[in-house]
Structure 1
Amino acid sequence: MKLRTRSGAPTRVGPHPILLVASVIAVAMVATPLVFLFSEAIVAPTERMLAALARPQTKTAAINTVMLTVSAILGSLLVGVPTAFALVRMDLPLRKLWWVLAALPLAVPSYVAGLAWAVMIPLRGFWGSLFVLVLVTSPYVTLPTAAALRRADTRAEDVARTLGRGPAQAFFTMTMPQIAPAAASGALLVGLYTISEFGVVAIMRFRTLTPSIERAFGGSFNRELAMLLSVLLVAMALVVIAVERAVRRPVMVQKSGHGRASSTVRTGRVPTMIMLAGMAVCAVGVPVGLLLWRSTQGIAGGGVEWARLLGAAKTTVFLGFAGALVAIVVALPVAILAARWRTRSAVILETAVYVGHGLPGIVLGLSMVYMSLKVVPSLYQTLTLMVLAYGLLFAPKSLGSARSALEQVPLSLEDASRTLGRSPIQTWLTVTGRIAWPGIAAGALLVALTVMKELPATLMLRPTGTDTLATRLWQLTDIVAFSDAAPYGVALVLVAAVPALVLARDSSGSLDADSSDRGEK
């Protein structure tokens, strides 16, 4: 018998056992690299671990990683939040164009942007790494912040204006707290991305933990040092997640019609458009321009293997969307649990999913190789193992988007559905899932885009003779065959641009719909 409130709606009870079981299984899968890491670290000789910790290079790499992560988070917030404000609250001409330009940096692999800028100017080390990372990661903050800004209740901001507060003061005191969770969610992805970044810091010759782990595993095969550095990465990821949890608050769900400001900012349009155009040129124009220039040289020289390039593109697309599907399956149960039941167990499960994203791809690759050989040897050196690894590595990108979308579904709609006699599963299929589907799909697109650009795990796990656009680009770049590598870079940007443009179109389309609604009113 179902318990009901006086209004007739069902009382909110604990999560369904099936949901709990599915969440635990998902977390157990995502925790596979962590199990491998800590099991190896525990059996390692203590004296060798302490010796690795005392190395000056270890301290330097750890400090550099912390500095770069904090700076990248702050830089992405300083770029992403104003960009979101400009896209949503400013009366800009060619609005859809600016949305596209704001999302396109997601299509540019960080190592491609890093290589382009390393060729253009002699910028190396910390500042070169920070510059490139802010360029390519700021959309992680821009897109969710813009979505939250569209949904924010601005009536309190309007009231503050009538009481004599200026536009900036009213915005920061009334609206900014509402969009802070979305900005923090994007900053969390930026932090985890930076912690595990390999390509940019390697190109910029900046010593951080991830390249040090790669050298320890690949060059000297110092397992104790590699395990210690990986444990340090996990600790840093936990700190970033804890800070994001402290910033995040329950998202306010508003009725339609109150999500936009009563007035649109019309001043400062020219400087804003110059800023947005400059960011697009730096993040997209320079890397793509260099790739196109080098591509013409490669094509003219006859060094492009078109059949191999086409095969690598097909493999890249397949792995991208297959990995996105696995990520959705893994993340969705945890997202539902985290969005609807903020219990301690739900927080622990969600945190466990996010921690794995802070590990570098080489650690994930080694753990998946180890587990496949121990449990299912037939999976070794197969695309199936790669797809599974991608789903586990990038499930957090899907989790954040799905959780935010589910939080936006009013509980009253679910209660009404349950009052009409529908089961929890029927309510999910007909109400919650249908409303939250755009956000869930956006997370899947983000995963697909990221998988297409993934490099370290792909280098570790790909079957012999199998190429992706990223691995082939890296191989040719490593032997200084830039002209032959450039067509692979162009193809990678074009392939990755498709999900990036869909994300931009979805955001700008929603914005245009809001504008049309206001015009009709």
Structure 2
Amino acid sequence: MPPVVGAVVAVLVAITLIPLGYVIATTIATGWATASALIFRPRVGELLRNTVALVVITVPVCMILGVGAAWMVERTTVIGHRYWAPILAAPLAVPAFVNSYAWVSVIPSLHGLWSGVLVATLSYFPLVALPVAATLRRLDPGIEESASALGAGPYRVFFRIVVPQLRLPVLGGGLLIGLHLLAEYGAFALLRFDTFTTAIFEQYQSTFNGAAGSMLASVLVLCCLVLLVAEAAARGSARYARVGSGAPRRPDRIRLRWSAVPAALGLVALTVAALGVPLWTIARWLRIGGTGVWRTGTLWPSLTQTLVFGLLGAAVTTALAFPVAWIAVRRPGVFSRIVEGCNYVTSSLPGIVTALALITVTIRYANPLYQTVIVVITAYVLMFLPRALVSLRSGLAQVPVGLEEASAALGRSQASTFVRVTLRLTAPAAAAGAALVFMAIVTELTATLLLAPSGTRTLSTRFWSLTSELDYAAAAPFALAMILLALPMTYLLLRQSQKAAGL
């Protein structure tokens, strides 16, 4: 292992353990008697049922929708298949709490588990659809044609040949969705659906009871560990790298015939629910508010601050994800699993827990850093590094080790090999990861509220402040700005995935 990689990873792991250390230290300070009384109570059981039900239902639904939509767009003659790829990526630009804001505006009585499943599915299914579509473009059609020549029908080819090759993107996307569900606050608060995250926020907001909130956070960490173990077991140890991009042609599309119209209508319905409803709701509130909602003088400063935080946070997070991804792919083992697990567990914690941990550490041990941009960017790294890590891990897995060894045999240094070979081949994956991090930062709420320097007002914090006051018309411009800011990132994700497939 290069010394620089080891040093960076060691420092990153130490910083990553701060929120976990905060939860553990609070638990120890609370004492077993108080901790057990706070954990083993009916309210925690209710929150656990809600959270588990949300994850168990939403993640498989997102996987089915994502794989089905990507397969129809990439492999069938569905009507308008050339135009569906960017449309399916566009819902990533709509924050989950904006989706809740839209659906609650349309149906004020919307609340509970199934409302949470609806909004979460519409917000997060592209996290599976996009990487699956990219993988489908890279698959060698010769394997599927060989199976067809041996007598396998289209459905058997799909389930026996195609689906096993989609394991990494499906599991990676599912893991990200699960982590989102464990950490999401705004969307479920608007829907009045209680999860561990909403309960922790309410606990700190109402009484600042660190012990009760930390006990809830400790249960949330256990839920994350279950997700990590399940994803690692399902991922297995299969290798997916190869030299070249396979057959230099696209596979023949499957003719849908009589089912072409129903398939297109299904995609239209999905798009209307995920994209049409929030855009229509925002347009409606803008019309109701008139020109007055644009004259507040706070939109442009909020947009500027959000853009600075987003670009800086995405660059730092993606750069730090490289050594972690390299260890996970090139040096798999117990150590790499521990490094990955620390990042995933920390990112599953609600933003308010991460923020309170950093506040405690900076006040006690690094007071000059309190309420500075450095602490804000650190929080973004801790919360969103898995977004960049999943993309980079998949990208590095497809870089043959032989190319790096050939570069070293020609006398290139490790740094030169990384820049000339590894970095160039993983650039599409790095760009995709950075885009995902940027979109997460644009819509981040709780950590920014607590950690940002005085006077900072991002788009998400301004939007949340106005919706909390039930001023939906004044909040609409900020929702629109977040979507418009994230849309170019979704296009970048799509283009980079197409470049990776050689299209």
User: Which band: TM-score by shorter chain?
Assistant: over 0.9
Secondary structure (helix, strand or coil) at the match of 1:206 reads: coil
1:494 aligns with 2:480: no
Out of 293, 305, 308, the residue aligned to residue 284 of structure 2 is: 293
Partner of 1:84: 70
Out of 104, 116, 135, the residue aligned to residue 90 of structure 2 is: 104
Percentage of matched positions with identical amino acids: 35
Cα deviation 1:106-130 (Å, max 9, x = unaligned): 1111111012112212331000000
Out of 68, 73, 90, the residue aligned to residue 54 of structure 2 is: 68
Partner of 2:218: 231
1:188: Cα distance to partner?
A: 0.2
Counterpart amino acid of residue 198 in structure 1: Y
Partner of 2:255: 266
Q: 1:103 and 1:36 mapped to 2: Cα distance?
A: 37
Moved more, 429-438 or 82-91: 82-91
Counterpart amino acid of residue 270 in structure 1: V
1:347: Cα distance to partner?
A: 1.4
1:508: Cα distance to partner?
A: 4.4
Cα deviation 1:308-332 (Å, max 9, x = unaligned): 1000011111111111112112211
Kindly tell me: are residues 96 and 366 of structure 1, through their superposed partners in 2, closer, same or farther at Cα, counting changes over 3 Å?
Answer: farther
Cα deviation 1:215-261 (Å, max 9, x = unaligned): 11111222221111101111111111111111114342243233876
Q: 2:197 and 2:33 mapped to 1: Cα distance?
A: 23
Unaligned residue ranges in structure 1 (runs of 5+): 1-14, 515-521
Cα deviation 1:275-309 (Å, max 9, x = unaligned): 22221111111111111111122234x24444310
Partner of 2:329: 339
Cα deviation 1:416-448 (Å, max 9, x = unaligned): 112211122211111111111111111011100
1:180 aligns with 2:171: no
Kindly tell me: are residues 434 and 66 of structure 1, through their superposed partners in 2, closer, same or farther at Cα, counting changes over 3 Å?
Answer: same
CA contact (8 A) 1:298 1:487 kept: no
Counterpart amino acid of residue 483 in structure 1: A
1:52 aligns with 2:43: no
CA contact (8 A) 2:328 2:336 kept: yes
Counterpart amino acid of residue 64 in structure 2: L
1:22: Cα distance to partner?
A: 1.7
Partner of 1:12: none
Unaligned residue ranges in structure 2 (runs of 5+): none
Partner of 1:43: 29
Secondary structure (helix, strand or coil) at the match of 1:307 reads: coil
1:96: Cα distance to partner?
A: 5.1
Out of 349, 356, 371, the residue aligned to residue 346 of structure 2 is: 356
Q: Within 5 Å, which residues of 2 pair with 1:118-129?
A: 118-121=104-107, 122-129=109-116
Partner of 2:101: 115
Partner of 1:5: none
Partner of 2:266: 275
Cα deviation 1:332-361 (Å, max 9, x = unaligned): 110011111112111111111111111001
Partner of 2:157: 170
Kindly tell me: are residues 306 and 498 of structure 1, through their superposed partners in 2, closer, same or farther at Cα, counting changes over 3 Å?
Answer: farther
Calculate the TM-score normalised by the size of structure 1: 0.92
Cα deviation 1:142-166 (Å, max 9, x = unaligned): 1111122222234332222122111
Kindly tell me: are residues 21 and 259 of structure 1, through their superposed partners in 2, closer, same or farther at Cα, counting changes over 3 Å?
Answer: farther
Counterpart amino acid of residue 230 in structure 2: V
Moved more, 228-237 or 378-387: 378-387
Q: 1:283 and 1:239 mapped to 2: Cα distance?
A: 29
CA contact (8 A) 2:286 2:293 kept: no
Out of 290, 314, 321, the residue aligned to residue 324 of structure 1 is: 314
Partner of 1:209: 196
Q: 1:483 and 1:244 mapped to 2: Cα distance?
A: 42
Partner of 1:160: 147
